[in-house]
Structure 1
Amino acid sequence: MPRLLAALLTCTASAVLASGAAFGIVAALEATPEPQNVPLVTFPDPPADRASGAPSPSAG
């Protein structure tokens, strides 16, 4: 009986410890601010459309 009681207490303590650690990790992750979404690469804006009377560069 004492071995069974020790095993039961060990399992209960490990389950409580694991769930406490999981809740602690989730709380720590929610407490940290989310980083800004800044792109690593930016591309220049395309040039504005030309007037319809100007020839296109591809016309030859």
Structure 2
Amino acid sequence: MSRLLAAFLTCAVAAVLATGAAFGIVAALDAVPEQQNVPLVTFPDPPAHGPSSTPGPGAG
């Protein structure tokens, strides 16, 4: 009977430790500030009224 009790207590302690570790990891991840989402490359906005009728420097 003592081996069964020892096995049960070992499982209970392991479950408690795993739960504590999971909560600790989540708390550590929540404590880290989020990184800003800044793009490395930006492109100019297209004109609002559509393409222009004048050809560009590469046309023709």
Q: TM-score, normalised by structure 1?
A: 0.74
Deviations 1:1-60 (A, max 9, x none): 0000000000000000000000000000001100011102111344686xxxxx5217x8
Between Structure 1 and Structure 2, whose CA radius of gyration is higher?
1
Residues 48 and 19 of structure 1: CA distance in aligned 2, closer, same or farther (over 3 Å): closer
Give aligned-pair identity as a percent.
76
Residues 12 and 47 of structure 1: CA distance in aligned 2, closer, same or farther (over 3 Å): same
Give the gaps of 5 or more residues in structure 1: 50-54
Question: Secondary structure of the residue that 1:17 maps to in structure 2?
Answer: helix
Q: TM-score, normalised by structure 2?
A: 0.74
CA RMSD in angstroms comes to 2.6
Among 31, 38, 56, the alignment partner of 2:54 is 56
* Aligned position for 1:13: 13
* Aligned position for 2:40: 40
